[in-house]
A and B are shown apart, each in its own frame.
Chain A
Amino acid sequence: MDAQTTIAKRVALELRSGMLVNLGIGIPTLVANYVPADLRVFFQSENGLIGTGSIPEQGMEHPLLTDAGGRPISALPGACTFDSAVSFGLIRGGHVDMTVLGGLQVDGRGHLANWTIPGKMVPGMGGAMDLVTGAKRVIVAMQHAAKGKSKIVKKCNLPLTSARTVDLVVTDMAVIGFPDGRATLMETAPGVSVADVIANTEAELVVPAKVPEMAI
């Protein structure tokens, strides 16, 4: 299983029936591919839609029905549309049960940096700051390391997305939670040992006596 599939499948296990969920671009988008068939989850696209469906068949696209990246999507029966103020009222107002975002860095206490690399990449925060500040549960879906460097760091040196800390980080190596405000190893990916995770994690990790493997 490749890294992205591992991450997406594990995040999908966090979905519960009836949840309103916002998925960021990149790996988080893949989570929608692994929703169990018996689960009714409502996906929000922050450009103004609840009930996003899959990519339409060729010739069935509508130029005025797109995801937050501007790509054509479909809408499921029961979908609804709204303006940007309502969309972010849903997000900031705590009506979104769960958001899944990509990350550049997460620190040992759960602070996330995911919107800019000053001087190199200044795209703007889009909806990320509102999502991390307002969603009931924040999950970061990202590779454990990039270019040989751990993305789970002692302290973020990139600008933070929010003062609020995230609830869960799912990587290709591990699931990390923050009970008591400290990075804690909750699960390892199939074929990855606890020692592997520790060796690839810059932040100090609390390691319980028993660490289960991801049930994916």
Chain B
Amino acid sequence: MKVVSVEEAIAMIPDGASVMIGGFMGVGTPERLVDELVRQRKSNLFVIANDAAVPGKGIGKLVDAGLVTRMIASHIGLNPRAQQQMMAEKMAIDLVPQGTLAERIRAGGCGLGGVLTPTGVGTTVEQGKQKIEVDGKTYLLETALHADFALVHTFLADYLGNLAYVLTARNFNPVMAMAADTVMVTAENIVPVGVIAPDHVVTPGPLVDYLIANG
């Protein structure tokens, strides 16, 4: 793990990269990394995230700046600009059931090719997907998701990159920290090794490539 400035971190992300971004309606989203994506005008991004938040917050800022051309998300209903861009075909959005999204990302991080889920069977979600019967029950084969970068936010990070989250800011962050080639983390508090007890570490340090220096 390396400690870098937010400017250095975002400079490593090329235009057109696939980027997983943690957070749920902007809660637990690494705002400093998002702000820097906007400042450096990284464009043509393929964003994988739970939702598009609201204009002016979290992933909503990337949508405001028109930097996202493709998105996989479970919900964009609270961001009218994301809906407009989808309707106008400026942004291609795959809408995925939230539990399926979490499992596809988890699968991507765990070396699995995908998961079998009953969610979506008999709905428009099953279109174009393989149906597999196991013990008499029908499932959809949902393939794994992997990204070039994961942008993660945590409450606590120690000097080795061990992470502990709080309250509802955990959400998609731990599964995304497993599912990308390069993992970048912002932390509300960077603390000495040992402050986070081994049993309380949620994301093991070796998964983290870059910890963004505070300040």
Residues on A lying within 8 angstroms of B by beta carbon are 45-49, 62-66, 68-70, 75, 81-85, 87-89, 91-92, 121-130, 133-134, 159-163
In the bound complex, residues from chain A placing their C-beta under 8 Å from that of B173 are 83
Main secondary structure of the interface of A (DSSP, over half): loop
In the bound complex, residues from chain A placing their C-beta under 8 Å from that of B97 are 125-130
Chain B CB within 10 A, most for which of A66, A81, A129? A129
Q: In the complex, which residues 23-77 of chain B have their Cβ closer than 8 Å to any Cβ of chain A?
A: 24-28, 50-51, 53-54, 73-77
Q: In the complex, which residues 180-207 of chain B have their Cβ closer than 8 Å to any Cβ of chain A?
A: 202
In the bound complex, residues from chain B placing their C-beta under 8 Å from that of A159 are 123-124
Given known A64-B168, A82-B170, A161-B123, contact A124–B24 (CB-CB < 8 A): no
Given known A47-B25, A85-B102, contact A123–B75 (CB-CB < 8 A): yes
In the bound complex, residues from chain A placing their C-beta under 8 Å from that of B149 are none
Main secondary structure of the interface of B (DSSP, over half): mixed
Question: What are the nearest 8 A-B pairs in CB distance?
Answer: A123-B77, A163-B122, A88-B99, A70-B25, A130-B99, A64-B169, A126-B75, A124-B75
Interface size on B, residues (CB 8 A): 51
In the bound complex, residues from chain A placing their C-beta under 8 Å from that of B168 are 45, 47-49, 64-66, 81
State the CA gap A160–B121 with chains docked (Å): 10
Residue of A nearest to B109 (CB): A85
Proximity string of chain B (107-127) to chain A, C-beta cutoff 8 Å, 1 when within and 0 when not: 000000000011111111100
State the CA gap A16–B123 with chains docked (Å): 31
Given known A64-B166, A125-B95, A126-B74, contact A84–B27 (CB-CB < 8 A): no
- What would 27 A/B residue contacts be, using CB atoms closer than 8 Å? A47-B24, A47-B27, A47-B171, A48-B24, A48-B171, A49-B167, A64-B28, A64-B167, A64-B169, A65-B167, A68-B24, A70-B54, A81-B166, A83-B165, A83-B173, A84-B50, A85-B102, A85-B103, A87-B99, A88-B98, A92-B99, A121-B77, A130-B119, A133-B119, A133-B120, A159-B124, A162-B123
